[in-house]
Amino acid sequence: MILKKKRIVITGGTSGIGYEITKHLHSENELIVIARNAARLTTLMQEFEGIYTFQADLCHSEEVKTVADTIVKQFDSIDVLINNAAIQNTPRYLDDDFSFESISREISLNFTSVCHFSYLFLPALLHKQQAVILNINSGLALAPKTSSAIYCATKGALNIFTQSLRYQLENTNISVQQAILPLVDTAMTMGRGKNKLSTKTAARHIIRGIERNIPDHDIGKVKLLRLLLRLAPSFAHRMLKYA
């Protein structure tokens, strides 16, 4: 699929990787951006003329359904759905600053909202001759680290969900894909890790994966991780454990 003259829905498009994807695609496509921060959405509209923005907190299922229903009613069809929005909480269960309330919020945003949107946007996606659901995933879906247990679990679940949904839709017009990323230099990863992939480079690879119809797109160091998991799985898991 060549990403030109397409109608694209992207979640979390006001910062990080989502912003770079928006920046890359807005001039030749019709973009619909969903995000929580209303002020950032306003700034985005001022920066990129012609995009549509919708405010919703994806941690709340009722807001997810409302915004999806609104978009489907306003737009008769969608070419691409990019499920990008995510959060990562780093405190461990034994840490004093671990928040019980953060568990459901992280699961709802990182995983449940993706399941909801993938269903709620189906009518609009099925209207197209060719359509794509792309889920932004992490190498931590393949091997977890010690901190961020909930984040790792949601990304592991997203990996399996993506594959299963692909089976369900394989005889339709919809291609279900995922981009599996290494550590990317975003606000979420500030102060952690070295030699991070830039958001610009990540966005470029993600877009290339959609255009080349790559089902499970291992990006950057994830290719090495995938190889290590085949050849030396114990070493790979130890390496990620303390990442």
Task: Look up 19 and say whether it is catalytic.
Answer: no
Q: Which pair of tokens denotes residue 25?
A: 């695609």
Given the residues 19, 52, 151, 242, select the one marked as catalytic. Answer: 151
- 112 sits in the region (left: phi over 0; alpha: psi -120 to 50; else beta) called alpha
Cβ 7 vs Cβ 19: under 8 Å: no
3-class DSSP assignment, residue 229: helix
Rg (C-alpha) for the chain, rounded Å, is 17
Q: Which pair of tokens denotes residue 240?
A: 């990620």
> What is the DSSP secondary-structure string of 137-190?
EEGGGTS--SS-HHHHHHHHHHHHHHHHHHHHTTTSSEEEEEEEE--B-SGGGT
Cβ 228 vs Cβ 235: under 8 Å: yes
β-bridge partners, 174: 131
Q: Which residues are catalytic?
A: 151
